[in-house]
Amino acid sequence: MEELNADIANRGEFEKRLKLFLKQIRTANGGIIVFIDNIHLILGGEGVNDAANLLKFMLSEHEICCTGATTLDEYDKHFEQDPADPVLKKHFQEVFIEELTVAESVSILRDGLKRSMESHIRFPILDSAIVSAVELSSHFIIYKCLPYEAIDTIYRACRNIFRARMDSSSNIIDRSKHEELSSDVTETTSLKEKEDTATKDDTSEIDLTEVKEESKPFTLKHEIPKGVDSTVIIDIFSKLTDIPVSTLTKAENNRLSIIREDLHNRFIDQDAAIDTVVETILRNRAEFPVKNQPLASFLFCGPIGVGKKTLARAVALALYYSEQSIYTIDMSKYTEANSIYKLINIPREEHKVDPEQNKLIKIIQQKPYAIILFDQIEKVHHEFWNILLRYLDNDNKINKEADFTNTIFFFISNINEEIDLHFRKEFFDCLNNIIYFQSPTMDRLCSMIHFRLKLIEKIYKKQNFTIILTWKALDSCLKYYDQVRHINLLKTYVNEQILNPLLDSLSLMKHISNTKVVIDINDENEYQVQFG
Q: 3-7, 43-47, 110-114, 275-279: lowest mean pLDDT where?
A: 43-47
- Those residues whose C-beta lies under 8 Å from the C-beta of residue 444, and which sit 6 or more positions away, are 268, 269
Cis peptide before 355 (omega within 30 of 0): no
pLDDT of residue 307: 79
Residue 301 sits in the same domain as residue 403: yes
The predicted model gives 160-174 an average pLDDT of 68
For 386-439, write each residue's pLDDT tens digit: 888 777 665 545 555 667 777 889 999 988 777 888 888 888 888 888 988 877
Q: Length of the chain in residues, anyone?
A: 532
pLDDT of residue 298: 92
pLDDT of residue 390: 75
* Short-list 376, 377, 409, 385, CA closest to 293: 409
pLDDT band at 182 (very low <50, low <70, confident <90, very high): low
For 41-92, write each residue's pLDDT tens digit: 777 554 455 677 777 888 888 888 888 898 887 887 777 766 666 777 888 8
pLDDT band at 21 (very low <50, low <70, confident <90, very high): confident
Q: What is the pTM of this model?
A: 0.58
197 against 295, higher pLDDT:
295
| Domain-terminating residue out of 60, 90, 120 | 90
374 against 90, higher pLDDT:
374
Q: What percent of the chain has pLDDT over 70?
A: 72
Residue 414 sits in the same domain as residue 467: no
| Residue 240: inside a domain | no
| Residue 96: inside a domain | no
pLDDT of residue 162: 79
Residue 430 sits in the same domain as residue 314: yes
Count CB neighbours of 45 within 10 A: 13
| Residue 53: inside a domain | yes
| Residue 241: inside a domain | no
Q: What is the 3-state secondary structure (H, E, C) of 267-326?
A: CCCCHHHHHHHHHHHHHHHHCCCCCCCCCEEEEEECCCCCCHHHHHHHHHHHHHCCHHHE
pLDDT of residue 412: 92
Q: How far apart are CA 317 and CA 114, in angstroms?
A: 38
pLDDT of residue 310: 83
Partners of 232 in the β-ladder: none
Residue 424 sits in the same domain as residue 331: yes
Torsion of CA 223, 225, 231, 236, to 10 degrees: 90
Residue 134 sits in the same domain as residue 21: no
Helix (H) or strand (E) segment spanning residue 434: strand 433-436
Q: Judge residue 364's burial from the number of C-beta atoms within 10 Å of its C-beta, 0-12 exposed, 13-18 middle, 19 or more buried.
A: buried
Residue 36 sits in the same domain as residue 132: no
471 against 188, higher pLDDT:
471
| Residue 361: inside a domain | yes
Residue-averaged pLDDT of the chain: 75
Residue 313 sits in the same domain as residue 384: yes
Q: In 344-429, which ranges are E strands?
A: 371-375, 408-413
Residue 152 sits in the same domain as residue 135: yes
Residue 448 sits in the same domain as residue 385: no
Q: What is the 3-state secondary structure (H, E, C) of 328-350?
A: EEEHHHCCCHHHHHHHCCCCCCC
Instruction: Answer whether residue 2 shows pLDDT above 80.
Output: no
Helices 487-494, 471-484: inter-axial angle, 10-degree rounding: 140
Q: How far apart are CA 84 and CA 78, in angstroms?
A: 6
Residue 309 sits in the same domain as residue 429: yes
pLDDT of residue 352: 45
- Those residues whose C-beta lies under 8 Å from the C-beta of residue 287, and which sit 6 or more positions away, are none
pLDDT band at 184 (very low <50, low <70, confident <90, very high): low
pLDDT band at 147 (very low <50, low <70, confident <90, very high): confident
Query: What is the count of structural domains for the chain?
Result: 5
The predicted model gives 463-479 an average pLDDT of 86
Residues 165/224, Cβ–Cβ less than 8 Å = yes
| Residue 120: inside a domain | yes
Q: How far apart are CA 87 and CA 370, in angstroms?
A: 47
The predicted model gives 327-337 an average pLDDT of 89
| Residue 352: inside a domain | yes
* Short-list 381, 300, 389, CA closest to 342: 381
Residue 411 DSSP SS3 = strand
Fill in the DSSP letter of residue 80: I
* Short-list 419, 208, 402, 219, CA closest to 301: 419
| Domain-terminating residue out of 32, 67, 90 | 90
Furthest CA-CA distance within the chain: 108
User: First and final CA of the chain: distance in angstroms?
Assistant: 88
134 against 465, higher pLDDT:
134
Partners of 275 in the β-ladder: none
pLDDT of residue 357: 66
pLDDT of residue 62: 81
Q: What is the CATH number of the domain that holds 495?
A: 1.10.8.60
Query: What value does the CA radius of gyration of the chain take, rounded to a whole number of Å?
Result: 34
Q: What is the CATH number of the domain that holds 164?
A: 3.40.50.300
- Those residues whose C-beta lies under 8 Å from the C-beta of residue 150, and which sit 6 or more positions away, are 105, 109, 130, 133, 134, 137
pLDDT of residue 353: 46
Fill in the DSSP letter of residue 243: -
Residue 33 DSSP SS3 = strand
Amino acid at 455: L
pLDDT of residue 302: 83
For 256-305, write each residue's pLDDT tens digit: 666 677 677 666 667 888 888 888 888 887 765 666 678 889 999 888 77
Instruction: Answer whether residue 485 shows pLDDT above 60.
Output: yes
| Residue 358: inside a domain | yes
The predicted model gives 435-452 an average pLDDT of 82
Helix (H) or strand (E) segment spanning residue 517: strand 516-521
Residue 54 sits in the same domain as residue 191: no
Residue 391 sits in the same domain as residue 279: yes
| Domain limits for position 86 | 2-90
